Amino acid sequence: MNTGKQVDPQILDRALRWTGPGFDEETAREVDRMIKEDPEGLTDAFYRDLEFGTGGLRGVMGAGTNRMNRYTVGMATQGLSNYLKKCFAGISEISVVIAYDSRRNNTFFAGITADVFSANGIRVYLFDDIRPTPELSFAIRHLGCQSGVVITASHNPPEYNGYKAYWEDGSQLIHPHDVNVIKEVKSIRSVEQVKWKRNIHRVTMIGDRMDMEYIGKLKTLSLSPGLIDRHKNIGIVYTPLHGTGTRLVPMALEAFGFRQVHTVKEQTIPDGSFPTVKSPNPEEPEALSMAIRMAHEVDASLVMATDPDADRLGIAVRNKSGDFELLNGNQTAVLLTYYLLLRHKELGRLTGNEFIVKTIVTTELIADIARHFGVEHFDTLTGFKFIAEIIRDLEGKKKFIGGGEESFGYLIGDDVRDKDAVVSCCFFAEMTAWAASRGKTVMDVLTEIYTQFGMYREKLYSLVRKGKKGAEEIGQIMDNYRKNPPTEINHSRVTTLIDYLTGESRDLAGNTVSPVNISRSNVLQFVLEDGSKISVRPSGTEPKIKYYFSVRDRLDDQSRITEVSQALDKRLEDIIRDLNLWGGYE
């Protein structure tokens, strides 16, 4: 039996507190077991507090300060409650909305959150069943609330859950609110400081009526209702991957006018164990396999999948061979951007006062398209909350058309202030109908875009390093890149080094430095002489460091698309090999 001697004394002391007053017996037993039998697990559970990153609070469920449980959720909610009271002291009644997805302990964590908010005198609007994260964002704005919380861990594995906090504009917490909430949470030294007892008079259930308001607003955004009516029988297969899109996405597609929407019935059942997939992540080809099989059976043209909280969208479309080809996040963002800007132009809606937004690791092809249409584009840090920040800052001054990020998140219109897979499903289907009206497929449109603007290929590699040691290793990797940056990658000179932590862009040829007008973040970018770009950043929500690779070449003749594509793929492989990244990556 291990007596805990291998554990850092400070970590052991933190753990022992969780076996005392204020903690339930089940928690105390689990902590005691880790102390006696699992020092490594104990260290990972208690070496830090869960913190708000780009996606809020997220972690493995279980006992510990670094875990998702009633106490970490309760303390986070108490800290948020305290902060809301400070920020909105002049309001007669502060109000919040709470939603949750299909993960394990979903109603339990949502209930704890409602308990603490209401016990602090805050009005709570609690959804009566699972709902997409974007509907939570919409509801905050629609109801005029000051904040909101959705219980979700997005597409993480089943053992995870999370807590996304939102501000009054419907976006996730950004600076200084995220930092200030953490300060409030850290000021709570004991779980006994949390107000746990629900005030039932301050909890109001919401449901179908909000669904109708949300879908009704999305429908007003449609740019081609006449085209949809003529192509309403386009075959669509949709899967919610056991998540919250199960009811809302088919409803929204029907509201837009699509009549041949087939759902993968085995995956329409909400289930936090995600029994039919290895991962409920629409970025993964395996997650769409059942939907693609069904699409072949019903002769559909389009396959769509959303993650558990329905904010990310995966797409598969037919290629010239009749097989289904999965689009990556950049390709979907490019197609949506091109369609939106072209249709706005055709409808006479481009006045010179519109804008789109993408993240710094998303394909530059989007910027090329925006320039072509005379539409301003902005780059932001990774995380949709930064896209929402720009929308908020320009509200009433410029019109937001759309935005997106390579990680399969997109938004059309500004009624929601987070990535929205519900509206994205509708618009991708609409874009497919528009292409059909021109006698084209989605892949035809993508090829036309590449011919006009140049062909881009991107790749994402992630190195996973879990726990305290992993976090330290990730920090060391970033530190080494800063101290010893490469001067040449794959026989191409590094011309520019951009460090978003210092806010500096260094021209290595002229040895000049210019400021980067974006918020600070631990991200490095290397721009090569041949136009390639490599971005490196630790994930804000997962124990990994991410490498984003982008290469580009001209495509003068559509018949050369396979040749150019293969050449770009080889360049990507050569860059990865030159950086010695093969092995240990996903």
Residue 478 sits in a domain whose CATH number is 3.30.310
> Which parts of the chain register pLDDT below 70?
1-5, 52-56, 540-541, 582-586
- Verify that 349 and 228 share a domain, yes or no: yes
Out of 423, 453, 483, a domain closes at: 453
Conformation bin of residue 132: beta by default, left when phi > 0, alpha when psi is -120 to 50: beta
- Verify that 74 and 171 share a domain, yes or no: yes
Out of 398, 428, 453, a domain closes at: 453
In whole angstroms, give the CA distance from residue 241 to residue 155.
10
Per-residue model confidence (pLDDT) at position 541: 64
Conformation bin of residue 241: beta by default, left when phi > 0, alpha when psi is -120 to 50: left
- Verify that 303 and 442 share a domain, yes or no: yes
Tokens of 547: 């490498």
Angle between helices 9-17 and 25-37 (to 10 degrees): 160
Q: How many helices (H) and strands (E) in the chain? A: 18, 23
- Verify that 403 and 500 share a domain, yes or no: no
- Verify that 392 and 539 share a domain, yes or no: no
In whole angstroms, give the CA distance from residue 125 to residue 106.
16
- Does a structural domain hold residue 344? yes
- Does a structural domain hold residue 417? yes
- Does a structural domain hold residue 584? no
Phi, psi of 358 (to 5 degrees): -140, 170
Domain count, the chain: 4
- Verify that 560 and 440 share a domain, yes or no: no
Out of 206, 231, 260, a domain closes at: 206
Q: What is the CATH number of the domain that holds 416?
A: 3.40.120.10
Q: What is the DSSP-derived secondary structure letter of residue 431?
A: H
In whole angstroms, give the CA distance from residue 328 to residue 330.
6
- Does a structural domain hold residue 478? yes
- Does a structural domain hold residue 544? yes
5: three-class secondary structure by DSSP:
coil
- Verify that 419 and 486 share a domain, yes or no: no
- Verify that 73 and 128 share a domain, yes or no: yes
- Does a structural domain hold residue 583? no
Catalytic positions, written as ranges: 154
- Does a structural domain hold residue 131? yes
- Verify that 349 and 433 share a domain, yes or no: yes
Please give the residue range of the domain that contains residue 533: 455-578
The count of other CB atoms within 10 Å of the CB of residue 517 is 7
pLDDT, tens digit, 9 for 90 and up, residues 329-366: 999 999 999 999 999 999 999 999 999 999 999 999 99
Per-residue model confidence (pLDDT) at position 40: 93
The count of other CB atoms within 10 Å of the CB of residue 562 is 8
pLDDT, tens digit, 9 for 90 and up, residues 106-152: 999 999 999 999 999 999 999 999 999 999 999 999 999 999 999 99
| Residue of 463, 481, 461 lying closest to 575 (CA atoms) | 461
Tokens of 277: 């997939």
- Verify that 339 and 248 share a domain, yes or no: yes
Beta-carbon contacts of 161 under 8 Å, excluding residues fewer than 6 positions away, are 58, 59, 61, 68, 103, 104, 105, 106, 109, 151, 152, 153
- Does a structural domain hold residue 585? no
- Verify that 384 and 474 share a domain, yes or no: no
- Verify that 300 and 440 share a domain, yes or no: yes
Please give the radius of gyration of the chain, using alpha carbons only, rounded to the nearest integer: 24
Q: For residues 412-422, b (16+ Cβ closer than 10 Å) or e, as one string? A: bbbbbbbbbbb
